[in-house]
Every structure is written in structure tokens, then in C-alpha cells.
Amino acid sequence: MTWTDSRESYCRRIRSYIDSCPNGELIAEANPDLADHLEDCPECASYLQIALQQKARLKEAVLGQEIPIALEPRIREALGTRSPDMHRWMLAAAAIIIVAVGTWTAVRLSKRTAESKPGGSGLALTAPSADDARILEIGMGEHVHCALDLGFADKEFSDEAMSEGLGPDYAGLVPLVRDRIPPGMVVTAAHRCRYNDRRFVHLILRDGQAVLSLLITRKDGESFSPDSHSRLLDSSGATLRLAGRQDMHVAGFETGSYLIFVVSNQTEADNTQLASNLAPALSDFLHRTQA
């Protein structure tokens, strides 16, 4: 085990501890080792700050929410023996999550135009189905978490470090991607990471102010809808699903065992074109890796 492996393992334990604090109340002063680590590790310090903000916003949002009568007994049974002080807050949070999760992601991902952009790739951009939107959110969420929130988009690693971070099975991804990206775009980071108990192979690319993520993850029962209106066959033969939110866009496609996402703050057309350029070679690479 290398020093880097040991540090990453310790960081994972720190972040797990941060996530386990139910009220977002983490008193670093009570743990000198934790306080020292947060002072020396900007990634974990940033993770703590983001976690506290998210938990505070969630608590503010759910307090005072009315819980459907039919839903309350099931939630109480699922919560089991929680402390009395936590029960009302968790009950409201659970209700909101159960009621909202099926629609909220689709709403914020589905505002797309139904026409091609002039001068773009020529691909029609249409609204994803709710199921496809939930899958596309997997890639969007990891891009925000790792590239943006943890700051990996601001780092630049050597080819040796990226090859080591990917491991022997995926080290060939960096030259494969470099051969298929526009001039001026560079691969700055490549590693394996984990988000929401899901493992990813993650390449980060930069082009000026543009930040892009190429994400590969094994399927866990998911598959894009075969008859979805967001099912787009481009000139390379790749079937892409498209969505976006605010100033970020995601294009996703799949192989037999993998989900692949290209996420960026580029225009819809540019992000889609990059996914189209990469899709055939990535599909072949993953087929060979699996074999």
C-alpha cells in the first residue's frame, strides 16, 4: 500500500464520519486528529463545508412540512428506534424524499429545446423521460461532486499519476480520449472515485473555462428507455440521451455492462458532439476490457 492509498483511505473515513453526523453538527475541536486533518486537507475541509450547508438547507426545507397520513405509519416503522429529538426532522425528510424523488430530478433535467442549434452538431435535442433523467443525474451528480465540489477540476496530474490512478485496466483511456478531443482541450485528471456508494472511472478535461467530465460506471440494473423521446442516433451510430440544468449539459449512452456520461459547462451542441466523437471508441474499449 502506498502513502497515497493510505491517505485516500483516511480521507474516506473522515468523509464517512462527516456524513454520519445526523444534524450536521461536527465538533472538530473534540477530536484533535480530525481538526489537524481538516487543516491540512483542503479536499476534506471543502467536503465538510458542503455537507454542513446541504444538511442545513435540507433541515430548513423539511421543518414544518405536512406528512401524508397514509405515509406516516410506514415511515415511522422504517425509522425504528431513533432518538425522540431526531424523529420529527427525519420523518419530514423521509416523506419529502419519498414523494419528490420520482419527479424532482426529471423536472430540473428536462428543459431542453426540440430543435437543432444552428451551426451545431445537427442532433435534435429533446426532453428525456423520467427514467432516463434519473440515469443521467448519476453522471451529473458525480461531475458536480468530484470535479467541482472537491476541486479536482482545478488540479493537473502527470500522465504517470493518471495511469496509476486509473489502474492497468483503464490506463489506456487517456491516450484514447486525447486522440478524439478538439485541439486545445486537455486531459488534466484521471482516477477512480466513489460517489453515493457507486464507483466511477473519471477523466476530467479542460478547455479554457470549460470543465468536462468523462464518467464510466458499471450498471446496477439501470438501462435507458428504448422508446424514449430522448433516444438519439447520431451519425457515428451512437445512441445518446441528452439533458441539462442551468449551465451544465450531460450526454449519456450505454454498453451491455456500463453507463457512460459526458458532462460539461459547454454548449449543448459542443457537449453532444464530444460524446458522439468518443462513443464508438469507448464502447469498443469497454467491450475489450470486459472480455
Residue 110: is its pLDDT beyond 90?
A: no
Please give the helix or strand (H or E) that residue 209 lies within, else none.
none
State the pTM of this model: 0.59
The Cβ of residue 125 has, within 10 Å, a number of other Cβ atoms equal to 23
Q: What is the pLDDT of residue 205?
A: 98
3.30.200.100, 1.10.30.50, 3.30.2350.10, 1.20.1050.10: CATH of 117-290: 3.30.200.100
Domain range annotation of the chain? 3-106, 117-290
Are 275 and 238 in contact, with CB atoms under 8 Å apart? yes
Where does residue 237 fall: left (phi above 0), alpha (psi -120 to 50 degrees), or beta otherwise? left
Tens of pLDDT, residue by residue over 13-44, are 877 777 766 554 554 555 667 777 778 887 88
Cell triple for 194: 466513489
Sorting pLDDT into bands at 50, 70 and 90, what band is 237? Answer: low
Residue of 200 and 233 predicted with greater confidence: 200
